[in-house]
Structure 1
Amino acid sequence: MWIDTHCHLDAREFDADRRQVADAAEAAGVRGIVVPAVAVWNFEAVRTLAHEDARCVYALGIHPLCSAGTGQADIDALRREVAASMGDPRFVGIGEIGLDFFVAGLDSHHQAWLYAEQLKIAREFDLPVLLHVRKSQDQVGAQLRKLGVKRGIAHAFNGSHEQARRFVEQGLKLGFGGNLTFSRARQIRRLATDMPLEALVLETDAPDIAPAWLADDQFGEQHKVRNTPAEVAGVARVLGELRGIDAAALAQATWRNAVEALPRLAAFAGTMAPAGHTTSTTS
């Protein structure tokens, strides 16, 4: 019924029980999991995971938090890997890429170079992007427009209504996960309620950004608790309550939105899509 459009299932937090975590997600109705890479060193890990577990697909990219020490050799390696993966049906896009202006000590100019070079690869191969946009919505969006990348997901979106509108007008979807479940996250909840339903996809960012019911105190110290892809079902429940939409309709809509954002997902309609959904689109 559901698809987690952003989950780091390859992370070491899942080394002891990765298969059981995926099984629990499936039991909760999560039929698909998108696993983005974060650096050249884990490209093979996300690819292998996607080929060993039919519920998973993968993306390749270099995360801004892994930008230190990267250079042209990493961009060249990414381009080679993307070119080699174009015939792989489990490969769905470029990610996780973007900009992070929240974490201290990162070189913003180097981040910007790395992000732009990865957008160029996405444009060259006509692939969607999975975007990290922490405290960087305007800068991430400006480069999308400059380089003409018009498909993908702005993951864990937490910007203004105007910033959200510009991403959607550019052709991107907005990812909502655990943060949405906190009553104090008023801006995120307003966005999830007010933006067109066609603009929204569901995610967890597991093992990070755990939902309210997993937080270990009233202030929502969610990063201290392991999140899992099964929690997409709970995120969907909250989103449905906020928007006044039933689970079946929301599942249909968010599946359709995920395929619009990541068209190569359409190849898995028979195994991932909600019951009753049909599509003839492939990419």
Structure 2
Amino acid sequence: MQLVDSHCHLDAPRFDPDRGAVLERAAAAGVAALVVPAVTAASWPALRQACALPGPLLRRPAYGLHPMFLAEHRPEHLQALGDWLERERPCAVGECGLDFFVEGLDADVQRRYFLAQLQLARDLGLPVIVHARRALDEVIHTLRRVGGLSGVVHSFSGSQEQARQLWDSGFLLGLGGPVTYPRANRLRTLAARMPLDYLLLETDAPDQPDSAIRGQRNAPERLPVIASVIAGLRGQPLDEVAAQTTRNAQRLFGLPAL
């Protein structure tokens, strides 16, 4: 298999003690590439370094301002992001989006940062990696309003109708550890029935571990577990799911042949 983890926070401090070993284990498990999205402006240099370190796996950075880290963002970071994107030419803008689940995050400020990042992505012709928690309807509306965008809503947890609206807008869905939990009925039904052309695999490591490692640090080596569960739900061979989701990631993010 040549799997692509379309959402892995390789630069997270929890990987500092063994980042190289994490990459080695992922490569041995069949993971060929990682997309590594940013969360704050302060994290961009370390993320770039994590993607440039010697070792296995293709690693591609994405740069953005995550809504959950609102307290760390400043208006001038948006100008800095535009400069950074033009200079670095990453594979995507993100992680950006809206989070109406976490208390204390100003919704209007979130909207301003999200809209500005979408406009940057559109103007630079880059896809977006979108975080949408308790905010999917508004996210879908905003994507349509800006227009001219492509991307993925990562860790998708919405309805079939919301999924269809995203596909109609040309967006893909990222599915990861939550789909492995037997009680995630709606998500598992979606994974079983959705068009494979719109699916990306992800771990969101070190977060969102699959059911077999609940409560532990997640890592990209767990991606084959997610792929296997989805293949089982769909009644398809694992290699078919692996091949198509890899093609989807290559198409969206402009990844080279693996």
TM-score under structure 2 normalisation?
A: 0.96
Counterpart among 67, 71, 76 of residue 68 in structure 1:
71
Distance in 2 of aligned mates of 1:240 and 1:197 = 10
Q: Hey, what does 1:41 align to over in structure 2?
A: 42
231-240 vs 43-52, which moves further: 43-52
Post-superposition CA distance 1:57-89 (Å, at most 9, x none)? 110000001122523201001001001112xxx
Distance in 1 of aligned mates of 2:73 and 2:207 = 24
Q: Hey, what does 1:21 align to over in structure 2?
A: 22
Structure 2 residue runs without a partner (length 5+) = none
1:207 alignment partner, SS class: coil
Alignment of 1:126-145 (within 5 A): 126-145=125-144
Distance in 1 of aligned mates of 2:33 and 2:72 = 33
Distance in 1 of aligned mates of 2:63 and 2:250 = 18
Q: Work out the number of aligned pairs and report it.
A: 255
Distance in 1 of aligned mates of 2:219 and 2:72 = 30
Q: Hey, what does 2:58 align to over in structure 1?
A: 55
Instruction: Tell me which stretches of 4 or more aligned residues in structure 1 moved more than 4 Å.
Output: none
Percentage of matched positions with identical amino acids: 40
Q: Hey, what does 1:258 align to over in structure 2?
A: 249
Q: Hey, what does 1:280 align to over in structure 2?
A: none
TM-score under structure 1 normalisation?
A: 0.88
Alignment of 1:1-283 (within 5 A): 1-53=2-54, 54-86=57-89, 91-215=90-214, 224-262=215-253, 264-265=254-255, 268-269=256-257, 272=258
Distance in 2 of aligned mates of 1:233 and 1:57 = 20
Distance in 2 of aligned mates of 1:200 and 1:193 = 11
Distance in 1 of aligned mates of 2:124 and 2:134 = 28
CA root-mean-square deviation: 1.1
Letter in 1 for 2:13: R
Instruction: Tell me, yes or no, if the aligned pair for 1:172 and 1:261 is still in contact at 8 Å.
Output: no
Q: Hey, what does 1:221 align to over in structure 2?
A: none
Distance in 2 of aligned mates of 1:255 and 1:145 = 26
1:209 alignment partner, SS class: coil
Distance in 1 of aligned mates of 2:224 and 2:76 = 40
1:94 alignment partner, SS class: strand
Distance in 1 of aligned mates of 2:113 and 2:65 = 8
Distance in 2 of aligned mates of 1:150 and 1:38 = 20
2:71 alignment partner, SS class: coil
Distance in 1 of aligned mates of 2:37 and 2:236 = 29
Post-superposition CA distance 1:135-155 (Å, at most 9, x none)? 111111111111114311100
- Once the 2 structures are TM-superposed, how far is the Cα of residue 245 of structure 1 from its aligned partner? 1.1
Distance in 2 of aligned mates of 1:228 and 1:261 = 23
User: Are residues 175 and 168 of structure 1, via their aligned partners in 2, closer, same or farther at CA, if it must alter by over 3 Å?
Assistant: same
Letter in 2 for 1:13: R
